[in-house]
Structure 1
Amino acid sequence: MMKENEIKTPFYIVYEDRLRANLELISRVARQADVKIIMAFKANALWRTFPIIREYGVDATASSLNELRLAREELHAEVHSYCPAYTPDTIGEYLDGSTHITFNSLGQWERFRSEVAARNGKVSPGLRVNPQCSVIGTDIYNPALPGSRFGVTSDMMPEELPQGLEGFHFHALCESDSHDLERVLAAFEEQFGRYLPSLKWVNMGGGHLMTRAGYDTAHLVSVLRGFKARHPNLEVILEPGSAFTWRTGDLITSVVDVVENQGVKTAIVDVSFACHMPDTLEMPYKPAITEALAEPDPSMPTYRLGGNSCLSGDYVGDWSFVRPLQAGDRLRLEDMNHYTTVKTTMFNGISHPSIVLCRASGECEVLREFTYQDYRMS
């Protein structure tokens, strides 16, 4: 065990007290709304933190066999599976390891319904539907765009619910609020309401960012309780990813050089946006830096931040600081514990940052360091 300032950069750090605060809020919402809230590994799969999460009785959703196995072996969880397309080689393992399984199309359901029936009720099958209600501003994360490959639209549904299906699953949010859910839910009920009396459950997918500061959890509870009052036969499931680990960890990096070209100063750091924070380039967005001013100020020392790879576009900026940056300065890139470690690459052979867990006591434990063998075997 050591203190945070004793650990060599770069490293991701997860804070136990912040993680527990999120888990407690999510658990409280689940109790008040009488719903089941499960964790999506696509946002975070740091299994060394699962002993903390297990204390809150959290189950999981899986979109691959690797996620399914991780959920069962490390989280000891009930698994709700969804995959855009199952194959004859994978369907058996999904069915054997899941309590719930969602099919993306009517064709997939028809192809594998006999496999489900052979499990004699051990897994509950559902269908992903698409309410075509778009509330997401960034297209790459929007499953409700025209021509989406996700889910069955209402015009493609038969008059009668296909026999054997027990649930519906829709996913239309991304870091969204409860008012977005309310809009999507209205579209869902309008388009698919006639089938709901025949179902056992509805999975409202992910994107419910209930742990973000200012999120109206009371309104969320009201929306969910209202839906359950209208459909008392249904179990309601939510599967957020980011909400569990929102603002629970940071990425600590050091400046290794400062270069200037045509009036632009770039502080090169010992991490890479492309390798270690790909969402900053995909969305794109600029992460907050604790040591920087909230907004760029041309009157102050101002820098673009450049990653330590050979990709020309491996940079984000600009940030202003109260004093000039120099090699050796540490910077804290905030909120880097969701959609970061799950998306890292070793492009250029650049090693991943270490992974650190900071206990509530303030003592820190290095959970993982990466070596040449990790690159070689990848």
Structure 2
Amino acid sequence: MNKYARADIPSPCYVCDEAQLEQNLLLMQRVQQEAGVEIILALKGFSMWSTFGMIKQYLKGATSSGVWEARLAREEMGGDVHVFSPAYKPKDVDALVGLVNHISFNSLSQWNKFKSQVLASGVSPGLRINPENQEADTPLYDPCAPGSRLGILANDIENVDLSDIEGFHCHNLCECDSFAAMRTLEAIEAKFGQYLPQLKWLNLGGGHLMTKKGYDVEHLILTLQNFKAKYPNLHIVLEPGSAVAWQCGPLVCEVVDIVENEEKIAILDISATAHMPDVLEMPYRPVISDAGLPGEKAHTYKFGGNSCLAGDVIEQYSFDKPLEAGTRLIFEDMLHYTMVKTSFFNGVQHPAIGILRKNGDFEIVREFNYEDFKGRLS
């Protein structure tokens, strides 16, 4: 029996597999030690802070996208806290300089606006650069696409005094391999190499999917070692989101009803738009345990979410046995960039959050109720 199909796991529920999470962290610890770099957790990809007690034993801190994430990182993770936002309001910077160690600016105008405040605070300032090296397969996640609002182009900092800038931040990857990381470093050298010897740090952002099966970890380590040998002055930081929680747990749900309209449609107690929005936005086809392609197995179904949105559907899967009300389904690998994007749209029941401990015990760490839904509105 699938280990996530057990009766003490409620439906719906996100389940974090503690043993698998630790395996991912051990691999990242190896990369840090052998490559001489720092890996921090990107909260935009995985913010399940009930796991931070384990994560901070292996990673060196966290990176945030604004005040709330920075505060969560400082309170629950500690260590080195970075922040990047496309733009900051004055009140944001007022709060951030008391929470973070590094702050990256998306434009020279923002840097000039807050320069004196940041320098006085002791927070290390950086600029987000755009190396114009496209690696992401999905346009929605490509920060280096033409016309991108993210990152400063090399032409824009020619003849600019960067003497007070201590680091560069570059993020252009999305679930990419080590060769994409190598090409990114080559692009950074080609476009911004003249500035690297004067900097203290280089943040290579996320998208380094080093915990995926088949990823060439040795090549990543060698690539980073070679780059550090050229620029021993640089403290190298990576901030993966997906890689930390990759394959660390599913979204467990169940069938509520079966309806038919030219095809069989199983109505679930979860919503794609509210609980798995990337399935519709990217879009992508999630893996369901023990399911096949349409027509591959004897019984084929489309899945409908429990919201009123007509397009709250996931296209067909097939199964060996007919589905019926109460049948459990397990959507695999649903922790990274999924829990962080959920909503209470339509007032549908939000999945619980639980941890399958290394010793085999299951623990519910959060359940959501009407007050949580009401509290988001006024």
- TM-score tier by shorter-chain length is over 0.9
The reply to whether residue 374 of structure 1 matches residue 377 of structure 2 is no
Partner Cα separation in structure 2 for residue 48 and residue 256 of structure 1:
30
Give secondary structure in 1 for the equivalent of 2:350: coil
| Alpha-carbon distance, 1:224 to partner | 0.6
Give the secondary-structure state (helix, strand or coil) at the position aligned to 1:182: helix
Task: Render the CA deviation track for 1:255-287: whole Å, top value 9, x for unaligned.
Answer: 11111112x111111100000000111111111
Which residue of 1 is the match for residue 25 of structure 2? 23
What is aligned with 2:99? 97
Which letter maps to 1:23? L
Q: Please say if residues 255 and 269 of structure 2, whose CA atoms lie closer than 8 Å, have aligned partners that are also in contact.
A: yes
Instruction: Name the SS for the 1:89 alignment partner.
Output: helix
Q: Given that residues 276 and 340 in structure 1 are in contact (C-alpha distance below 8 angstroms), is that contact kept between their aligned partners in structure 2?
A: yes
Partner in structure 2 of residue 59 of structure 1 = 61
Determine if the alignment matches structure 1 residue 109 to structure 2 residue 111.
yes
What do the CA deviations read for 1:19-39 (whole angstroms, capped 9, x no partner)? 100000011111110000111
Q: Give the TM-score taking structure 1 as reference length.
A: 0.96
Aligned residue identity for 1:51: G
Is 1:306 paired with 2:295?
no
- Cα displacement (A) at 1:151: 0.9
Q: Which residue of 2 aligns with 1:72?
A: 74
The answer (yes or no) to whether the contact 1:250–1:332 under 8 Å persists in 2 is yes
In the other structure, the counterpart of 2:168 is: 168
Any idea what SS the aligned residue of 2:250 has? strand
Report the Cα offset of residue 5 of structure 1.
2.0
Contact 2:297 2:320 in 1 (8 A): no
CA distance in 1, matches of 2:266, 2:60: 41
> Deviation string for 1:332-363 (max 9, x for gaps)?
10001111111001111012101111101111
Q: 1:152 to 1:35 in 2, by over 3 A?
A: same
The whole-number CA distance in structure 1 between the counterparts of 2:84 and 2:244 is 19
**Aligned match of 2:12:** 10
CA contact (8 A) 1:3 1:362 kept: no
Question: Which of residues 36, 46, 51 in structure 2 aligns to 1:49?
Answer: 51
Does residue 351 in structure 1 map to residue 349 in structure 2?
A: yes
Residue type of the alignment partner of 2:166: E
- Give me the whole-angstrom Cα distance separating, in 2, the residues matched to 1:308 and 1:183: 43
Deviation at 1:3, TM superposition (A): 9.2
SS in 2 for 1:257: strand
The DSSP-based 3-state class of the residue aligned with 1:338 is coil
Question: Partners in 1 of 2:373 and 2:44 — Cα distance?
Answer: 22
CA shift at 1:160, angstroms?
4.8
Q: How far apart are residue 228 of structure 1 and its match?
A: 0.6
Separation in 1, partners of 2:13, 2:160: 54
Q: Would the alpha carbon gap of residues 232 and 316 (structure 1) be closer, same or farther in structure 2, given more than 3 Å must change?
A: same
The aligned counterpart of 1:271 is: 270
- The one-letter code sitting in structure 2 at the alignment partner of 1:248 is C
1:86 is aligned to 88
Counterpart Cα distance in 1 of 2:296 and 2:239: 43
Q: TM-score, normalised by structure 2?
A: 0.96
- Residue of structure 1 in register with 2:243 after alignment: 243
1:213-240 deviation per Cα after TM superposition (whole angstroms, max 9, x unaligned):
1000001011111111111111111111
Q: After the TM superposition, which residues 84-233 of structure 1 pair with which residues of structure 2 at under 5 Å, given as runs?
A: 84-119=86-121, 122-233=122-233
Segments of structure 1 that go 5 or more residues without pairing to the other structure are none
Runs of 4+ more than 4 Å apart: none
Amino acid across the alignment from 1:268? I
Task: Check conservation: 1:4, 1:364, Cα contact below 8 A.
Answer: no
Q: Which residue of 1 aligns with 2:330?
A: 332
**CA drift at 1:89:** 1.2
Whole-Å separation in 1 of the counterparts to 2:133 and 2:95 = 33
**What's the offset of the Cα at 1:183?**
1.4
In structure 1, C-alpha distance between the alignment counterparts of 2:12 and 2:303, rounded to whole Å: 15
CA displacement at 1:55 relative to structure 2: 2.1
**In 1, Cα distance between the equivalents of 2:290 and 2:119?**
58
Give the residue type in structure 2 aligned to 1:151: G
What count of residue pairs does the alignment treat as equivalent? 373
Distance, in Å, in 2 between the alignment partners of 1:72 and 1:8 is 32
Percent identity, please: 49
Between the aligned partners of 1:31 and 1:130, the Cα distance in structure 2 is: 28
Amino acid at match of 1:261: N
Aligned equivalents of 2:259, 2:60: Cα separation in 1: 47
Give the deviation of 1:161 after TM superposition: 4.4
- Distance in 2 (CA, whole Å) between partners of 1:363 and 1:4 is 11
Deviation, structure 1 residue 188: 1.1
Tell me the equivalent position of 1:40. Answer: 42
Structure 2: give runs of 5+ residues left out of the alignment: none
Aligned CA RMSD, in angstroms, stands at 1.4
Q: Would you say the 8 A contact 1:37–1:239 is kept in 2?
A: yes
Q: Structure 1 residues 346-355 or 89-98, which shifts more?
A: 89-98
Distance 1:170 1:311 in 2: 37
Measure how far apart 1:54 and its partner are. Answer: 2.2
Residues 1:289 and 2:291 aligned together: no
| 1:282-336 per-position Cα deviation (integer Å, ceiling 9, x unaligned) | 111111111212x332562111111111111111121110111111110110001
